[in-house]
Amino acid sequence: MTAPRATERRHPDSTEIDELSVSGLVDLFCAADATVPAAVAAARTELIAAIEAVEAAFRAGGRLIYVGAGTSGRLGVLDASECPPTFGTDPAMVRGLIAGGPAALTSAVEGAEDDPAQGGADLLALVPTARDAVVGIAASGSTPYVAGALQAARRVGAATLLVTCATPPDAVAAGCDVVIQVDVGPELVTGSTRLKAGTATKLVLNMLTTGAMVRLGKTYGNLMVDLQARNAKLHERGERIVMSVLGVPREVARAAIDRAGGSVRTAIAMEFLGVDREAANTRLAAVDHRLRALLGPPPPVSPGE
């Protein structure tokens, strides 16, 4: 009997997986995982529409809200949590909801994904508006918790998007503005969507936030200029960025970042313009915070950089 969803079907190449050597396992996994990028690329049109929807939400002062269960929910929360240190965003700008609440991030909360009413209630607790973009993440395409959240989002006029690795039910798809369906096929361990489906989902979420943030001017070329230097690693990265852009020694870069309150973008503007923090931020605001408008093109990549 054929499984109803692609994510539940058996992979024909892994029926003897329990007989393989370690080297055989590695080869099998590598071969399977190598198919994922092409599957993601096949959803190019939908990815473009999704990034545009997320960018529009941000420009309207709205938020990106991820909703998922299990692995899908954890990936959404992960992506949301990485936006503030990477792009200097307010933590409220990208949010992640997971069925079962915070406890589900580290332990399975059985049955939580089966409650559509709870999905709707959890979303509504964030007081969504028509300015927001709500992205449901469901490898199977049919997770009730996610479907309930998307229905609630639709009712308030928010943009609704679905990231899935299977054909979603018509009722779910009909309520979404964009459906990103990445057909990765069956998993090597039947139904274990933390494998190829999880990898594909991570790639998609990377594109959604990074693409939208780049469009908002959160980078200067490919440099992470909106990072906030709040720990040693990020401070060192920020110093290297300032050094690369302005051609100054490390001690000058470090001092500039300190005077800028940890903002790499502001530090670069201060040093380039020869002004204080307040004046630099005023100049940046006048050009939509885009360093390219003040400095011109970013410097070329130097050997070893």
The 10s digit of each residue's pLDDT in 6-18 is 889 999 999 999 9
Instruction: State whether 71 and 195 are in the same domain.
Output: yes
Condensed to tens digits (0 to 9), the pLDDT of residues 59-116 reads: 999 999 999 999 999 999 999 999 998 998 999 999 999 999 999 999 888 789 999 9
Question: What are 121-152's pLDDT values in tens digits?
Answer: 999 999 999 999 999 999 999 999 999 999 99
Domain end marker among 151, 184, 215: 215
Active site residue 278: no
Do residue 187 and residue 285 come from a single domain? no
Condensed to tens digits (0 to 9), the pLDDT of residues 189-223 reads 999 999 999 999 999 999 999 999 999 999 999 99
pLDDT exceeds 60 at position 1: no
Total number of domains constituting the chain: 2
Residue 1 lies in a domain: no
Predicted pLDDT of residue 68: 97
258 and 164 belong to one structural domain: no
Shared domain check, 166 and 87: yes
Catalytic residue list contains 113: yes
**183 to each of 43, 99, 103, 192, how far by Cα in Å?**
9, 24, 30, 15
Residue 91 inside a domain? The answer is: yes
Quote the CA–CA distance of 35 and 269 in Å, as a whole number. Answer: 43
Confidence of residue 4 (pLDDT cuts 50, 70, 90): confident
Average pLDDT, the chain: 94
* Structural domain contains residue 164: yes
Answer yes or no: is 225 within a domain. no
Is there a single domain that holds both residue 46 and residue 126? yes
- Band of residue 305 on the pLDDT scale cut at 50, 70, 90: low
Does residue 7 fall inside a structural domain?
no
pTM, two decimals, is 0.93
Among 189, 215, 241, residue at a domain's last position: 215
Identify which has the larger pLDDT, 287 or 108.
Answer: 287
In a domain, 20, yes or no: no
pLDDT class of 304 with cuts at 50, 70, 90: low
- Regarding whether 264 and 123 lie in a shared domain, the answer is no
Q: Name 288's Cβ contacts closer than 8 Å, sequence gap at least 6.
A: 217
Query: What's the chain's length in residues?
Result: 305
Given 215, 247, 266, which residue is the final one in a domain?
215
Identify the CATH number of the domain in which residue 192 sits. 3.40.50.10490
Domain encompassing residue 108: 38-215
Same domain, 80 and 211: yes
The reply to whether 245 and 147 lie within a common domain is no
- Do residue 201 and residue 255 come from a single domain? no
Residue 236 and residue 205 share a domain: no
43 and 170 within one domain: yes
Choosing from 46, 113, 187, 239, the catalytic residue is 113
The verdict on residue 123 lying in a domain is yes
**30 domain-assigned:** no
Q: In terms of domains, do 133 and 188 share one?
A: yes
| pLDDT at site 133 | 98
What is the CATH classification number for the domain harbouring 246? Answer: 1.10.8.1080
